[in-house]
Homo-oligomer: A and B are copies of this chain.
Amino acid sequence: MKIAIAQLNPTIGDLVNNSQKILDAAHHAVAQNARLLLTPELSLCGYSPRDLLLYPNFIESLTAQLQELAQKLPPELAVLVGTVTPNKFAHLKGEKPLFNSVSLLENREIKRTFHKWLLPTYDVFDEHRYFEAGKKPNIFQLSVDRNSKEKIKIGVTICEDLWNDEQFWQKRSYKHNPLKDLVDLNIDLIVNLSASPYYLHKPELRKQMIQSSSNHYQIPIIYVNQIGGNDDLIFDGNSFAVNQKGELVSEAKAFSEDFTTFDFEPKTKEFSLTPIIHLPQIEEQELFSALVLGLKDYAKKCNFTQVILGLSGGIDSALVAAIATTAMGAENVLGVLMPSPYSSDHSLKDAQNLVKNLGINHHILPIGEIMETYDQVLDPLFSGTEFGIAEENLQARIRGNLLMSLANKFGYLLLSTGNKSEMAVGYCTLYGDMNGGLAVIADVPKTRVFSLCHWLNLHQEIIPNNILIKPPSAELKPNQVDQDSLPPYEILDAILNLNINHHQSFDEIAQAGFDAHIVKKVLKLVTRAEFKRTQSPLVLKVTDKAFGTGWRMPICSRDSALHHCGMIYNQKEFFMTSDRSLKNKNELS
């Protein structure tokens, strides 16, 4: 029995084109003699439509589109399509009005509809906002071929339904374990339709988990994942099948649409394929591919063909330029060099070398005269004050204005180039270098920015070497380097990782051996920068905790408990003040 999987890249809400993708895959499947076609979770509307789901007309359109698709599909093929269905009489039962569903389409009709049991509400997920949990076992029988009486019994799961394996996690996250319930009903095969967003190492984790479950329950599992970027989320694909020993028998591409078929032998519950050995990817390669896809799809789905970014001669903008070049093509990338009187000699040269290495377009727009004019206008109010944050931020904002002017004039997508370490401690200027439609590397810590650039340079110099070796600097005043204001990036990133990704507070981090004074200052900066992050462009998520949908922090708070910093608690300075880029030395003294 041949089973096909279509690893699709839907656009949110684009029912007509998403439907066409499923239809195209169905014709491929039939051409290859497949009996069953699997598509990702919510393949009809894309994951996640979010509050579009609150619009009754959106649900009606989905219902109509599914019906239309059923009639257009080749009748001999069984197709599992991810969609949203109404929960009838929800208002009488006190339930949520929708289900996250999978419909079985065959013979020009919607034969069955299954509902997701486990609804995630952590990190970026809000499924309980919209959906009621399924309660009936999701099973159907399918004849091995259309005219055969031999049938196999298939258990249907939707994404999170497989993420509650107590053996694997050593804890229980939900009351039910749909996998166990299905296995108890003597099924032959589990299919899982997913839209599982990427973060570094997650493809491997996901595979390990499902291999473990498959082996534990002695059941073959076919896992189909969405691919593509949708806003801040990147879906990596990496669909696969495992046999009942948990051995990998088939694998689809990472970060790319894919279509694949394989033979399943119902009697033995075996796939007629030699188990493949999965080679671990290089971390940097995986991460780079993810970022490229995230940018590419954001641009494409928002109808941009060209991108613009500021090139400071520093490593962050260099990395974003390299990502953009891969995603959009060199001819569609415009780098703008905007030197000020504080820019060092090497900055312009380094940026120009980068432009040459990547083969992208560039302009040079010096900002000195604009700075002077602002100074003149502000002089009646600023005279007698010291050069400080206000003047430093102004330079970044002049650059932000110039970039937005070009973006508005010529229709470019502006990319923001800040990294995660900066965004965490607020070492960035709101309405300045934070400007953009997409913050490409704002979930990539600075230490990882370095390792990505070194990896890019493995075979040839892409990032000019001087950019890699010089000390990072914002160059907003003479002889400034990041390390005047921040601890070394290795230490900063380690503290940030414990605090942001592992939810540790002052006590725990200090006890882990970091200098208590530094930990305190870093956590204070993180809290204080919250108001900036709320105004950030979308951040491509590539770690298990990114600033964005999955990070929901209050701004006006005194986190006496979080930081447990008795000494500074209740002091005025502990509060977020105004936009301070924290670029003056005494902030971390």
Bound complex: CA A388 to CA B410 (Å) = 11
Beta-carbon contact of A93 and B407 below 8 Å: no
Centre residue among A229, A407, A552, A564 by max chain B CB count within 10 A: A552
Partner of A231, one of B15, B404, B555: B555
**Residue in chain B with minimal CB distance to A122:** B129
Binds B, one of A321-329, A450-458, A468-476, A528-536: A528-536
Asked if A272 CB lies within 8 Å of chain B CBs, one says no
Residues of B within 8 A of A376 (CB): 369
Residues of B within 8 A of A45 (CB): 561
Residues of B within 8 A of A55 (CB): 503-505, 561-562
Asked if A316 CB lies within 8 Å of chain B CBs, one says no
Partner of A382, one of B164, B409, B538: B409
**Residue in chain B with minimal CB distance to A569:** B16
Bound complex: CA A435 to CA B535 (Å) = 9
Distance from A208 Cβ to chain B, minimum over Cβ atoms (Å): 20
Distance from A420 Cβ to chain B, minimum over Cβ atoms (Å): 17
Number of interface residues of A (CB under 8 A): 124
Centre residue among A49, A393, A578 by max chain B CB count within 10 A: A578
Beta-carbon contact of A377 and B381 below 8 Å: no
Partner of A95, one of B91, B175, B405, B557: B175
Centre residue among A11, A385, A556 by max chain B CB count within 10 A: A556
Residues of B within 8 A of A126 (CB): 121, 126, 129, 552
Beta-carbon contact of A366 and B370 below 8 Å: no
Partner of A554, one of B128, B173, B230, B367: B230
Binds B, one of A285-293, A298-306, A342-350, A477-485: A298-306
Asked if A412 CB lies within 8 Å of chain B CBs, one says yes
Asked if A172 CB lies within 8 Å of chain B CBs, one says yes
Beta-carbon contact of A377 and B367 below 8 Å: yes
Beta-carbon contact of B12 and A558 below 8 Å: yes
Bound complex: CA A36 to CA B523 (Å) = 40
Residues of B within 8 A of A562 (CB): 13, 52, 55, 57-58
Beta-carbon contact of B302 and A575 below 8 Å: yes
* Given A377-B367, A381-B406: A11 touches B57 (CB 8 Å cut-off): no
Beta-carbon contact of A50 and B171 below 8 Å: no
Distance from A336 Cβ to chain B, minimum over Cβ atoms (Å): 10
Partner of A578, one of B129, B298, B304, B580: B304
Beta-carbon contact of A302 and B556 below 8 Å: yes
Asked if A217 CB lies within 8 Å of chain B CBs, one says no
Beta-carbon contact of A393 and B408 below 8 Å: yes
Beta-carbon contact of A554 and B231 below 8 Å: yes
**Residue in chain B with minimal CB distance to A374:** B370
Distance from A456 Cβ to chain B, minimum over Cβ atoms (Å): 27
Asked if A402 CB lies within 8 Å of chain B CBs, one says yes
Beta-carbon contact of B578 and A407 below 8 Å: yes
**Residue in chain B with minimal CB distance to A365:** B377
Beta-carbon contact of A93 and B378 below 8 Å: no
**Residue in chain B with minimal CB distance to A398:** B401
Asked if A270 CB lies within 8 Å of chain B CBs, one says no
**Residue in chain B with minimal CB distance to A376:** B369
Distance from A294 Cβ to chain B, minimum over Cβ atoms (Å): 11
Residues of B within 8 A of A580 (CB): 408
What string of 1s and 0s marks CB contacts (under 8 Å) between A194-235 and chain B? 000000000000000000000000000000000001110000
**Chain A, 43-67, CB within 8 A of any chain B CB:** 45-46, 48-52, 54-58, 60-62, 65
Beta-carbon contact of A15 and B560 below 8 Å: yes
* Given A62-B561, A535-B535: A413 touches B374 (CB 8 Å cut-off): no
Beta-carbon contact of A230 and B556 below 8 Å: yes
What string of 1s and 0s marks CB contacts (under 8 Å) between A350-380 and chain B? 0000000000000101110110111011100
What string of 1s and 0s marks CB contacts (under 8 Å) between A502-518 and chain B? 01111110000000000
Bound complex: CA A404 to CA B92 (Å) = 52
Beta-carbon contact of A302 and B576 below 8 Å: yes
Beta-carbon contact of A577 and B411 below 8 Å: yes
Bound complex: CA A265 to CA B474 (Å) = 69
Q: A92-B172, A95-B175 are in contact. List 5 more A-B contacts (CB 8 A).
A: A49-B557, A94-B174, A121-B128, A128-B128, A549-B552
30 intermolecular pairs with C-beta atoms under 8 Å apart: A11-B558, A13-B561, A16-B560, A48-B554, A52-B557, A55-B562, A58-B505, A58-B559, A58-B562, A93-B172, A94-B172, A94-B175, A95-B175, A121-B129, A129-B552, A231-B556, A298-B556, A301-B556, A302-B576, A303-B576, A363-B381, A365-B378, A369-B373, A374-B405, A378-B405, A382-B405, A388-B409, A404-B579, A408-B578, A535-B537
A residues engaging B (CB < 8 A)? 11-17, 45-46, 48-52, 54-58, 60-62, 65, 91-95, 121-122, 126, 128-129, 164, 171-176, 229-231, 297-298, 301-304, 363, 365-367, 369-370, 372-374, 376-378, 381-382, 385, 388-391, 393-394, 397-398, 400-402, 404-409, 411-414, 430-431, 435, 437, 503-508, 531, 534-538, 549, 551-562, 564, 569-570, 572, 575-580
